């Protein structure tokens, strides 16, 4: 199969320029022929622009075709490798100082926790159970004391919450001036043969679903970047950014019952990730603004454009909820709630390409993918 | 089981200080009670000194005990994970600019080739067949052009030579001033159930074996660091450093016939790696200087202390040969040559701890582990 957008290569948002402007409105009325074009949020040269080309170059040069034991390779949340009876699902994710976290803004516990959650999320999003992980650490010498201990305690919390066990890894000292922290996590998960779900199976008329509330992690991040994280009344709003949770049980249930036609996690924002799912499946999508499960923004924060609930929900990253599609004949089996996980139908798959959003008043617009990791934009 | 030295965590030599001196003679006559102490080759604060403690802290804090499906975890070349019928062997390895290669000294083809060979070697050394790999890349923007293409072509060469397929990965831009290249490779291999070999099984009276010639890669590196790599007569001496080869077929044959009691690769030098094997197995070793398969040093290079063949063979890194032990009753089945792989018996396992070396004249000395990656020492 061809993979227009290779998600397993594209899960790391890049560091945007500091001179980044907020850019054009996120919901625009560009005609549909242009709707398929990704507009990068930054104007400076950046890997983000090169990403598709870069990944294509890697794919062309290194043997990577699917087939045989490699059932799903590049282009899904994780790779699916067939073993007798069970399938192994493997993924890797970098968590880099300066690119994915800021050592002066993010508590080390959160860094360790999120590094593991972020990687495990790609396994969960294929309806697999994370079992083992490998940890590669590159550290400056001055981070091998208290910072490391606290980072590890956050990682232990994540591993316990998911039943994940550490199987090994690799340590190195990061070298040179301005040496930075780099965490690389590889997660191995297992699925019963045939249960694993990729992102290429969505078909016209399938319903589109999300789990959880959209935009909560981004709201927390915006407060941190605005130096408002110390205010007691906002403190509980930070947890979704520092310690996101995964819907493991629900993902496994979906896989066991063969309900989704396609599934992935929302790590880079709904507008970006839904477009990826559509491209991988060769379809388009239509979603409804008034059906989105929006983050609740306190009254005291209203009026700030970046904190608009719809903007946060469409483009905010790191919620790590599930995005999935289900054929009409299975829609009645999708619950509204599963344990503590809220499930919301937000639209449907359509023929063609691109994602449209229907505003509350009925106006239809193209949804420009604008999800990315904002934490370093200022 | 306990793992005194956790090899899967310890495969990355650290960057030594530039003001590093060559240090004490590598074969000393320290009494055996002190022979168990690793003497770090550098005096500055370095992760190398902290490594055991650092890994122990990671193990204490994150669930990682062996058991159930995790047959071998931290402490072996790779982790061994049981699946029905087959076992999966997984490892990860960092290849960092400044720590493991120098972008101005090492051709990008060699960087890509070695990053993969280095990681795959840990799988091969457990008598498993490397099958798939994941590649995490963090790159400065200026390395996404020709450098990347050439690096990938070297990696493709290694993947083809081993029959390894790329299953996915992750890309990011490395951030900040002096941003560096970081490659992280995760390799998945498979072994028939029970065939995988760890490093903890060596017993007194077992024979000790190595494959290939010792010190060839280090000789190549020394020439590069001495700016002698351009000299035509030395050019063929560089290949073992740039493009080391793995003894995959021989490793699989050993595993299939249950011949080794313990096995690992020689990545950091015989003196360091044999000590690790002994510590993991709770035994000591005795090797014979005149039985070592020494690198041939051209006459024009003789007299330079660091280029002494015995020094190169004992302490030179990155040969990626196999180091294994075999019980007496199986010794007759170990060939002297297998295909193009030379196999040499160099000594035997003894009770106790520490590694002794017997000089040609019969003098017995403790072998101080002094293997590490010299390339950045000057």
Q: Which of A287-291, B29-33, B347-351 has the lowest mean pLDDT?
A: B29-33
**Residue range A171-183: average pLDDT?**
83
Q: Which helix (H) or strand (E) holds B27?
A: strand B27-28
Retrieve residue B156's tokens.
Answer: 């493709």
Q: Does B145 touch chain A (CB under 8 A)?
A: no
Query: Across residues B60-83, what is the average pLDDT?
Result: 76
For domain B207-376, give its CATH number from 3.90.650.10, 3.40.50.300, 3.30.470.20, 3.30.1330.10.
3.90.650.10
Of A9, A51, A165, the CB nearest to B63: A165
Q: How far is CA A300 from CA A228, A233, A296, A297, in A?
A: 12, 10, 12, 8
Give CA angle at B191 (B281, A196), nearest 5°. 125
Residues of A in contact with B168 (CB under 8 A): 8-9, 73-74, 76, 78-79, 90-92
Could you read off the pLDDT of B336-372 as tens digits, one per residue?
999 999 999 999 999 999 999 999 999 999 998 886 5
Say if CB B130 and CB B196 are below 8 A apart.
Answer: no
Question: Considering only CA atoms, which of B346, B324, B352 is closest in space to residue B261?
Answer: B324
State the residue for tokens 């004249």: B361
pLDDT at residue number A47: 46
Residue A167 has pLDDT above 70, yes or no: yes
Choose among B51, B152, B188: nearest Cβ to A58: B152
pLDDT of A12 strictly over 60? no
Q: Which residues of B are less than 8 Å from A190 in CB distance? A: 83
pLDDT digit string, tens, across residues B139-162 = 888 888 889 999 999 999 999 999
What are the pLDDT digits (tens) for B87-111? 888 999 999 998 889 888 899 999 9
Instruction: Indicate the residue of A62, A83, A172 with minimum beta-carbon distance to B155.
Output: A62
Chain A CB within 8 Å of residue B66 CB: no
Q: Which of B83, B94, B171 sits opposite A9 (nearest CB)?
A: B171
- Report the residue of chain A nearest B93, measured CA to CA: A170
Contact A148 B9 (CB under 8 A): no
- Residues of chain B neighbouring A135 (CB-CB closer than 8 A): 58, 62
Identify the CA nearest to B54 among candidates B91, B100, B95, B6: B6
B172 in contact with A, Cβ within 8 Å: yes
Q: Does B10 touch chain A (CB under 8 A)?
A: yes
Residue B278 at interface with chain A, using a CB cutoff of 8 Å: no
Residue B304 sits at the chain A interface (C-beta within 8 Å): no
Query: Across the interface, do A47 and B166 touch by the CB < 8 Å criterion?
Result: no
pLDDT at site A26:
33
Q: What's the CATH number for B66-196? A: 3.30.1330.10
Closest CA to B169 of A130, A77, A263, A371: A77
Given a contact cutoff of 8 angstroms between Cβ atoms, the answer to whether A276 and A7 are in contact is yes
Residue of chain A whose Cα is closest to the Cα of B18: A176
| Residue B18 at interface with chain A, using a CB cutoff of 8 Å | no
- CB < 8 Å from B in window 28-57 of A: 45-48, 50-51, 54-55, 57
CB contact under 8 A, B46 and A171: no
More confident residue, B183 or B198: B183
Residue B47 pLDDT more than 70?
no
Q: What is the mean pLDDT of residues A128-152?
A: 89
Predicted pLDDT at A343: 98
Q: Do B84 and A81 touch (CB under 8 A)?
A: no
Work out the pLDDT band at A172, boundaries 50, 70, 90: confident
Query: What kind and span of H or E run contains B151?
Result: helix B146-162
* Nearest CA distance, B363 vs chain A (angstrom): 37
Q: Can you give the pLDDT at residue B372?
A: 56
Query: What is the predicted pLDDT for the residue at A155?
Result: 94
Distance in angstroms (rounded) separating the CA atoms of residues B117 and B157: 10
- The listed range with the strongest mean pLDDT (A42-51, A225-234, B14-23, B308-317) is B308-317
Q: Is residue B311 very low, low, confident or very high in pLDDT (cuts 50, 70, 90)?
A: very high
How many CB contacts within 8 angstroms connect chain A with chain B?
282
ipTM of the complex: 0.80
Average pLDDT of chain B to the nearest whole number: 82
Model confidence pLDDT, tens digit, residues A294-306: 999 999 998 898 8
Cβ contact B169–A58 (<8 Å): yes
CA-closest candidate to residue A279, choices A54, A29, A75: A75
Query: Domain extents for chain B?
Result: 66-196, 207-376
3-class SS string, chain A: CCCCCCHHHCCCCCCCCCCCCCCCCCEECCCHHHCCCCCCCCCCCCHHHHHHHHHHHHHHHCCCCCECCEEECECECCEEEECCCEEEEEEEEEEEECCCECCCCCCHHHHHHHHHHHHHHHHHCCCCEEEEEEEEEEECHHHCCHHHHHHHHHHHHHHHHHCCEEEEEEEEECCCCCCCCEEEEEEEEEEECCCCCCCCCCCCCCEEEEECCECHHHHHHHHHHCCCCCCHHHHHHCHHHHCCCCCHHHHHHHHHCCCCCEEEEECCCHHHHHHHHHHHHCCEEEEEHHHCCECCCCHHHCCCHHHCHHHHHHHCCCCCEEEEEECHHHHHHCCCEECCEEEEEEEEEECCCEEEEECCCCCEEEECCCCCCHHHCC
- CB-CB neighbors (< 8 A) of A45 in chain B: 141
Fold of the domain spanning A77-196: 60s Ribosomal Protein L30; Chain: A; (3.30.1330)
Question: Hey, what are B220's tokens?
Answer: 């190549």
Task: Identify which of B70, B134, B177 has the shortest CB distance to residue A167.
Answer: B70
**In whole angstroms, what is the distance from residue A25 CA to residue A2 CA?**
32
């Amino acid at each position: 199969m061809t993979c227009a957008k290779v998600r397993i290569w594209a899960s790391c948002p890049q560091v945007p320029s500091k001179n980044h402007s907020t850019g054009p409105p996120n919901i625009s009325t560009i005609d549909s022929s242009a709707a398929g074009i990704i507009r990068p949020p930054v104007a400076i040269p950046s890997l983000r622009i090169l990403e598709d080309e870069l990944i294509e170059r890697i794919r062309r040069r290194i043997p990577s075709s699917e087939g045989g034991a490699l059932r799903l390779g590049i282009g899904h949340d994780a790779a699916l490798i067939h073993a007798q009876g069970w399938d192994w699902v493997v993924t890797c994710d970098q968590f880099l100082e300066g690119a994915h976290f800021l050592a002066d803004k993010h508590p080390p516990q959160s860094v360790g926790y999120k590094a593991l959650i972020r990687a495990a999320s790609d396994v969960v999003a294929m309806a697999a159970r994370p079992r083992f992980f490998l940890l590669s650490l590159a550290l400056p010498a001055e981070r091998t004391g208290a910072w490391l201990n606290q980072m590890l305690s956050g990682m232990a919390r994540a591993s316990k919450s998911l039943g994940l066990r550490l199987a090994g890894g690799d340590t190195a000292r990061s070298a040179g001036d301005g040496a930075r922290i780099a965490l690389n996590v590889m997660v191995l998960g297992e699925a019963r043969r045939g249960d694993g779900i990729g992102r290429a199976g969505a078909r016209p008329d399938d319903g589109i679903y999300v789990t959880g509330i959209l935009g909560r992690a981004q709201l927390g991040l915006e407060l941190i970047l605005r130096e408002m994280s110390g205010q007691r009344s906002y403190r509980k709003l930070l947890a979704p950014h520092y310690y996101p949770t995964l819907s493991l049980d629900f993902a496994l249930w979906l896989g066991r019952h063969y309900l989704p036609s396609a599934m992935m996690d929302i790590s880079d924002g709904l507008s970006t990730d839904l477009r990826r799912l559509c491209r991988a499946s060769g379809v388009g999508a239509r979603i409804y603004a008034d059906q989105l499960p929006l983050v609740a923004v306190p009254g005291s924060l209203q009026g700030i454009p970046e904190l608009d609930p719809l903007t946060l929900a469409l483009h905010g990253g790191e919620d790590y909820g599930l995005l999935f599609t289900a054929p009409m004949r299975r829609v009645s089996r999708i619950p509204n709630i599963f344990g503590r996980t809220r499930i919301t139908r937000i639209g449907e798959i359509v023929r063609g390409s691109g994602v449209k959003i229907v505003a509350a008043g009925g106006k239809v617009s193209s949804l420009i993918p604008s999800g990315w990791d904002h934490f370093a934009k200022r």
